[in-house]
Structure 1
């Protein structure tokens, strides 16, 4: 069965949210509606919806005009198992001591490496993206320098690849992985089992660091946050507060052109920049609370 998409952009979060709410009342009803900030400094927001039937083009035109949005771009998506397609095409990832692979590449794990089995799923973080790769390489470098954090939090964990990297290399550490998305938490829990790390990674559904378990476990020696520029800046005070003195935050999910504004937010929150790595158009930052 084909799926139909309708996408548009408009300035401002409030109008974008209002447009999304109006689209949810369409007939035929969309199966899902999403609102996302375009992280390029333009101030534009993307509103998109998916339909199992062709959407009402006249209604979409009316809604675009009413909310000051660009005309909707309509597409018919082929009936493809995207997870299976991505799984076939993903190659293993070398990230320092870490080797991230799918089950179809289990015979390729080199001796002496830390294997992390991650399947292509609906949750973010297979290691192939420059942001996840950058976080793994930054963590690997700190381990090589002899650093051994005792408490680790992976905020916005997705597949929990970063939390599992910590659990696999720090056998005595407390490791918590959290995500705002329940599906991501379910994926994280499944990956923990697949990698034999039951009891080593505690998976939580939480918005940012607002969970009693995270608050109780603080301060952390290491906090991963591989999310987006906006949430990173918003979480700067909380991440700083939840870090121990001398603790580090490894941040990514941001474009290289966005790095300076994120660095400024964390410096204002009391952290200092220790290292910055750019992989393609993406940046990974290591900051320390001194």
Structure 2
């Protein structure tokens, strides 16, 4: 169980959809758990994070200033005292066991009931790994993994691993080693802890790395399968590098994007020669499965 300093506080901003990514990233620089929630009546998003009072204040201020500069809006930052016990109870209530697709079950360490039969159960500390608001994107990635598992990919990369859930799922389902990278040292540590807790510490290799800029990531390719559960804008910016380091016939699972952003992200990857294989909606979120063509006798063939 995570030991959180007392007292905690919840910090939040309300922003339009176009500013969601920038302010989610801003709060992530100061908070260990960040969530974002749609107000369907107004079309705005509430972005909130939980952090110890007085900690990472300079990082928060600088990140909010940058987000305001990028988006052109400066929303009010709200603060609310949050008792640690109450926060954990709320987190547990929001994280019941999830049965995903045909193969997976995701549950918190607080769950006492027997695991679901005939499924690969992935156990996470709800206080550490969840609260990101990206349940829909995670679900989409796990469903997509089931659809590409028949290809038996050998070289696998989980780019922006976070809790390590996708790396663990691939390691368990495919019995392969997975390179799991993140730019956040805390996430790398948590992913390693989760992998060991789920019995795949020898299969999941957590590494602190800045995406495709890191030599470790580049040397590990070309990849047969890449997970990139990030956000729409960085996905678009990394499309060229992804295409370069994906093996012929290889598959990329792209997520962390809203349904309204799917065509934008897809267009960026199509320009790099990748084709859409499957689009998987999950509520407000969409997961894209794209594939690189196969070269045969000098001719590029589309993947099966």
TM-score interval, smaller chain: 0.7 to 0.9
Normalising to structure 2: TM-score of the pair? 0.72
- The CA distance in 1 between the partners of 2:237 and 2:284, in whole Å, is 22
- The CA distance in 1 between the partners of 2:10 and 2:204, in whole Å, is 38
Unaligned runs of 5+ in 2: 1-6, 39-46, 58-64, 294-304
2:105 is the alignment partner of 1:94: no
What is the match of residue 277 of structure 1? 280
What is the match of residue 265 of structure 1? 268
2:229 is the alignment partner of 1:226: yes
Q: Secondary structure at the match of 1:107?
A: coil
Alpha-carbon shift at residue 190 of structure 1 (Å): 0.3
Q: Is the 8 A contact 2:99 2:105 kept in 1?
A: yes
Normalising to structure 1: TM-score of the pair? 0.76
Inter-CA distance 236–106: structure 2 relative to 1 (3 Å threshold): farther
- The CA distance in 2 between the partners of 1:249 and 1:199, in whole Å, is 23
Inter-CA distance 112–8: structure 2 relative to 1 (3 Å threshold): closer
What is the match of residue 201 of structure 2? 198
Alpha-carbon shift at residue 108 of structure 1 (Å): 3.0
Inter-CA distance 126–142: structure 2 relative to 1 (3 Å threshold): farther
What is the match of residue 44 of structure 2? none
Q: Is the 8 A contact 1:5 1:51 kept in 2?
A: no
Alpha-carbon shift at residue 4 of structure 1 (Å): 7.0
2:137 is the alignment partner of 1:131: yes
Alpha-carbon shift at residue 201 of structure 1 (Å): 0.7
- The CA distance in 2 between the partners of 1:255 and 1:176, in whole Å, is 26
The 5-angstrom pairing of residues 17-166 of structure 1 reads: 32=30, 52=53, 70=74, 72-81=76-85, 82-95=87-100, 96-105=102-111, 107-123=113-129, 129-143=135-149, 146-166=150-170
Cα deviation 1:73-100 (Å, max 9, x = unaligned): 4333332342453134411111120111
2:217 is the alignment partner of 1:214: yes
Inter-CA distance 202–77: structure 2 relative to 1 (3 Å threshold): same
Alpha-carbon shift at residue 245 of structure 1 (Å): 0.2
Q: CA RMSD in A?
A: 3.7
Inter-CA distance 237–121: structure 2 relative to 1 (3 Å threshold): farther
- The CA distance in 2 between the partners of 1:113 and 1:214, in whole Å, is 31
Alpha-carbon shift at residue 129 of structure 1 (Å): 0.7
Over 3 Å off, 4+ runs: 1-10, 31-34, 46-53, 66-71, 121-128
- The CA distance in 1 between the partners of 2:220 and 2:259, in whole Å, is 32
What is the match of residue 297 of structure 2? none
